[in-house]
Structure 1
Amino acid sequence: MTDIVLAHDYLVQVGGAERVVAGWAQGFGARRIVTLAYRPETTFDEFTRLDVQATLSPALATQVERLLPALPSIAARTTVSGGDVALVSTSGWAHRFRFEVPHVVYVHSPARWLYAADDYRLRLSPLRRAGLTVSTPLLRRGDAEAMQRASAIVSNSVVTQARMRAAYGLDSVVVHPPVEPVAPDAAAPTRDLPDAFAVVVARDRGYKNVPLAIVAARTAGLPIVIVGSGSESLDDPAQGVHGLGRVTDAELCWVYREAVVVIGAGREDFGLTVLEAALEGTPAATVATGGYLETVQPGVSGFQAASATADDLAAAIRRARDLDPEAAREWARGFSRDEHLARLARVIEEVVQRA
């Protein structure tokens, strides 16, 4: 059996990429993971069962994003060794680690801080934004050199595959992320929610475009539930906005099941949440861009807005409400974990045989 070592940018949040890596640990029987930072209290419990090698101290792990100017050099000094092959999850850092074994790089997105500056830098101070702008050409050179050292490159979507070609001039194969129910059982959140509501699952990131989702839901006549770290700051029940913050997987499962529709308003490279909701029978209303073009089947699992405006997204919400829940479930089952693991295993096997 191939001994696989995992690598990931940093384990400090509950997000789609972290859920993918947790699935790898179980599916491939991996026992060790190398990362820049680890906060067990703010990420998936599954990682407590692994041997986690984190470069940064627990104190610095709470400030990882503030360390941006130093992270490229810290990543380059993070060594991955042992095992037959490394399976690397990256959207900016882990592919820059120093690998002493062959490594397969699974790309969720080319580094947004370098190649999607308008998305990432919205959250930076003017001084840090200016510093990053000046240093970007040099940082891109080092980033590209690190990516070129990969034994094989896998993109999570056709969108990411195209962005990889644009950013690095490199080809990659597409293996969609695994989609499984987020929990075996549902549990209602501790607070009361409306009988009928839309949901958006998004952390506090500008490119998630939560304000558009809020306005679109209101235009469609629905209150909205927002799930994700930082969303509690948007909580305003009197205006039909229910920011729950971070919730348990069982609570997220309940929200998916009970929602009338899940909204995708941001710029996503894949769009995992609309498929998670579809597995619970909930259709999607999204903007017609990015990964949503792959994860939503119009007229079956949801509808896409004619333009990225509140009125058109509201129209998609109204249409999606009438779709058959079982058809949405059947569509989402096509993105199974077994299929994901089988396709990745073939890539890994080819790399090991060449080594």
Structure 2
Amino acid sequence: MTEIVLAHDYLVQVGGAERVVAEWAAGFEATRVVTLAYRPETTFDAFRDLDVRATIPPALSGQVERMLPALPAIAARTTVTGGDVALVSSSGWAHRFRFEIPHVVYVHSPARWLYAADDYRMRLSAIRRAGLTVSTPILRRGDAEAMARATAVIANSEVTRERIRAAYGLESAVVHPPVEPVATDAVAPARVIADAFAVVVARDRGYKNVPLAVDAARAAGLSIAVVGSGSESLDDPAAGVHGLGRVGDSELCWLYRNAEVVVGAGREDFGLTVLEAALEGTPAATVAAGGYLETVRPGVSGAHAASATVADLADAIRAARMSDPDEVRRWGRAFRRDAHVARINAVIGATSDRA
């Protein structure tokens, strides 16, 4: 059996990429993860049972996103060895590690801070934006050289494949992320939420466009639960907006099961949350862009908005609520972990045959 070592940018948050790595650990029976930083208290509990090897000391792990100028050098000194092949989860850093074994890079998105400046730099101070602008040509060159060293490159969606082609001039296979129920048991949040509500799951990133999701849900006559780091700032129960912040998987499972619809308003590379909700029978209403074109099938698992406006997204919410929960579940099951693992193994096998 092929021994797989996992690599990931940094394990300090609860997000779709981190959930993919957790599913890999189970699906490939991998026990070791190499990463830049690890904070057990702020990421998935599944990593506590693994051998996580982080380059950045624990005391600095919470500051990793502020260490951008130094991260290319730190990544280059992060060595991955042992095992037969490394399976690399990258949104900008892990493919830069120093690999002493063959490595297959699974790209969630080419680095937003290099190739989608409007998405990433809006969160930076003026000084940091200026510094990043000046250094971008050099950083892009090193980024491309690192990606070119991969034994094989996999995109998580068609839109990401196009971004890989544009950023690196490389071709890649498309393998959708693995989607499993987020929890077996559902536990209601301590907060009281209206009987009819929508849910949006997104960290505090401008490109997630949470305000549009909130306004559209309210226009469609629903309260909305907002889940993710930073969502507390949106909390306004009197207006039907419940900013819950980070929640546990059991609470997220309850929200998925009990919501009328999950809303996606941002520019997603894939859109994992809409499929997690689909496994619970809950349809999605999203903008018709990016990964949502692959993760939502109109008339089956939800609806797409005609445009990224409050009125059109509200119409999509109303249409999505007409979906058959059984059809929604069947759609979600097509993205389960076993299918994903089989496709990844096929890519790994093909690279071994060429070696």
Short-chain TM bin: over 0.9
**2:239 maps to which residue?**
239
- Number of aligned positions between the proteins: 355
Q: How much has 1:36 moved relative to structure 2?
A: 0.2
Q: How much has 1:13 moved relative to structure 2?
A: 0.6
Q: How much has 1:46 moved relative to structure 2?
A: 0.9
Q: What's the secondary structure of 2:134's corresponding residue?
A: helix
Matches within 5 A, 1:80-95: 80-95=80-95
**1:254 maps to which residue?**
254
2: CA distance, partners of 1:236 / 1:56: 38
Amino acid at match of 1:270: F
Q: Deviations over 1:94-144 (max 9, x none)?
A: 000000100000000000000001000111011001110111011000000
Matches within 5 A, 1:277-288: 277-288=277-288
Is it true that 1:302 corresponds to 2:310 in the alignment?
no
Is it true that 1:326 corresponds to 2:326 in the alignment?
yes
**1:40 maps to which residue?**
40
Matches within 5 A, 1:195-274: 195-274=195-274
**2:16 maps to which residue?**
16
Amino acid at match of 1:227: V
Is it true that 1:132 corresponds to 2:119 in the alignment?
no
Q: Deviations over 1:64-95 (max 9, x none)?
A: 00001111111011111111110000001000
Q: How much has 1:351 moved relative to structure 2?
A: 2.6
Query: Contact conserved, 1:84 with 1:352, CA < 8 A, in 2?
Result: no
2: CA distance, partners of 1:276 / 1:26: 17
Q: How much has 1:196 moved relative to structure 2?
A: 0.6
**1:99 maps to which residue?**
99
Q: Deviations over 1:174-231 (max 9, x none)?
A: 0000111111111111111111101000000111000111111111111110011111
Amino acid at match of 1:81: T
Q: Deviations over 1:313-351 (max 9, x none)?
A: 001011111111111111111111100000101111223
Query: For structure 2, which runs of at least 5 residues remain unmatched after alignment?
Result: none
**1:293 maps to which residue?**
293
Q: How much has 1:245 moved relative to structure 2?
A: 0.7
Q: How much has 1:33 moved relative to structure 2?
A: 0.7
Structure 1 range deviating more: 219-228 or 144-153: 219-228
**2:70 maps to which residue?**
70
**2:159 maps to which residue?**
159
Amino acid at match of 2:312: D
TM (normalized to structure 1)?
0.99
Is it true that 1:59 corresponds to 2:59 in the alignment?
yes
Q: What's the secondary structure of 2:327's corresponding residue?
A: helix
Q: How much has 1:238 moved relative to structure 2?
A: 1.1
2: CA distance, partners of 1:48 / 1:289: 36
Q: What's the secondary structure of 1:165's corresponding residue?
A: helix
Q: How much has 1:37 moved relative to structure 2?
A: 0.2
Q: What's the secondary structure of 1:199's corresponding residue?
A: strand
Amino acid at match of 1:220: A
**1:194 maps to which residue?**
194
2: CA distance, partners of 1:30 / 1:69: 31
Q: How much has 1:165 moved relative to structure 2?
A: 0.3
Amino acid at match of 2:52: V
Amino acid at match of 2:279: L
Q: Deviations over 1:255-275 (max 9, x none)?
A: 001101100000000011111
Q: Deviations over 1:32-75 (max 9, x none)?
A: 11000000001111111111110001111010000011111110
Q: What's the secondary structure of 1:6's corresponding residue?
A: strand
Query: Contact conserved, 1:85 with 1:352, CA < 8 A, in 2?
Result: no
Query: For structure 1, which runs of at least 5 residues remain unmatched after alignment?
Result: none
Q: What is the RMSD of the two structures over their aligned residues, measured on CA atoms?
A: 0.8
2: CA distance, partners of 1:85 / 1:350: 13
2: CA distance, partners of 1:353 / 1:11: 32
2: CA distance, partners of 1:279 / 1:241: 25
2: CA distance, partners of 1:88 / 1:230: 28
1: CA distance, partners of 2:10 / 2:328: 33
TM (normalized to structure 2)?
0.99
Q: What's the secondary structure of 1:62's corresponding residue?
A: helix
2: CA distance, partners of 1:187 / 1:103: 39
Query: Contact conserved, 1:8 with 1:89, CA < 8 A, in 2?
Result: yes
1: CA distance, partners of 2:225 / 2:286: 16
Amino acid at match of 2:327: A
Q: What's the secondary structure of 2:129's corresponding residue?
A: helix
